Structure 1
């Protein structure tokens, strides 16, 4: 089995959309316009490809964006710098094979050289103890709860401290940015951005 984790490409979007909307009640449905927003704006948007087939994806956004998710905004009101995991989806055929942990290892590797916090939420209605346990064993702690709108579901808001960040900040980010090597590169966006953090790897509060 050949596994590749790579940045999403435009030709993946139809398959990503279909996979997202087959994800069940734990994943909020998307339309093509919403997915295009992530394609153009997400700081982290990678897919898993197994033997040439799309097996899953994960989307993450840095602080300071115009994303209107109430959970993203909750973190934005409380944390000056973070990467927010908006969603992770794994195809049914590839579940229970550790792909979620592989994605979380990859997104942690991306985040820990850029931000001090990795954040996300899990639904409490309905509660999925497997998902709650997964995040707890991966170092996330609950930092709050909220309801997603007057008739929305209750969520647990989670954050994970990234202890490597302080070392990276003092060693590289405060002195010109991350080294220019492929594994530290930002993903290429389909629209230009003037956000300096994408160039220097740091946003100073």
Structure 2
């Protein structure tokens, strides 16, 4: 498995993976993905046999991203990278792809001089797999936010980077 910068040729696989996990993510179409890709600070895929099988999309402070969860962090911090979504396809679940992407993102963020990585995961309905995964990296809950449109409740998370 190799990590590479995401390219438009990866969009069909990214959209397919996003649909597989849409119950935990917001919907995504090609137009919105193109827009997010253009403003992303970090957008990487893992390739396996030249096919994108996982991706991570993250944003830096002060961008035009309209997510209320991203905005929560952007109002409070000027030193962060926000993970909007990470998806690992069923084909490579449990093989360390998510961990590999997170470690790469954290190394990249440190090299940029940022001191925190932020994200959210579902509390209601609960996403226990995500909670355990994030706790293993040292993420801590900063706040809880509800989406009036979906009824979902998310835990806004932060991991302080050192070294």
TM-score, normalised via structure 2 length = 0.94
- Compare the two structures and name the one with the higher strand fraction: 2
- Secondary structure of the residue aligned to 2:76 is coil
8 A contact 2:13–2:53 mirrored in 1: no
- Secondary structure of the residue aligned to 1:81 is coil
CA displacement 1:111-151 (0-9 Å, x = unmatched) = 11221110000011211222101101111000111112354
**CA distance, structure 1, for counterparts of residue 44 and residue 150 of structure 2:** 32
- Secondary structure of the residue aligned to 1:132 is helix
Give yes or no for the alignment of 1:72 onto 2:77.
no
Return closer, same or farther for 1:150/1:53 CA change in 2, 3 Å cut-off: closer
Partner of 1:41: 39
Equivalences, count: 162
Give yes or no for the alignment of 1:5 onto 2:6.
no
Q: Which runs of 5+ in 2 are unaligned?
A: none
**CA distance, structure 2, for counterparts of residue 77 and residue 52 of structure 1:** 39
**CA distance, structure 1, for counterparts of residue 127 and residue 17 of structure 2:** 20
Partner of 1:116: 115
**CA distance, structure 2, for counterparts of residue 88 and residue 155 of structure 1:** 15
- Secondary structure of the residue aligned to 2:155 is strand
**CA distance, structure 2, for counterparts of residue 82 and residue 73 of structure 1:** 12
User: After the TM superposition, which residues 85-164 of structure 1 pair with which residues of structure 2 at under 5 Å, given as runs?
Assistant: 85-114=83-112, 115-149=114-148, 151-164=150-163
CA displacement 1:24-64 (0-9 Å, x = unmatched) = 41122101111011221101000000122221100000010
- Secondary structure of the residue aligned to 1:77 is helix
- Secondary structure of the residue aligned to 1:124 is strand
**CA distance, structure 1, for counterparts of residue 56 and residue 149 of structure 2:** 28
Give yes or no for the alignment of 1:55 onto 2:84.
no
CA displacement 1:149-203 (0-9 Å, x = unmatched) = 3543100000011112xxxxxxxxxxxxxxxxxxxxxxxxxxxxxxxxxxxxxxx
**CA distance, structure 2, for counterparts of residue 151 and residue 55 of structure 1:** 28
Largest Rg, 1 or 2? 1
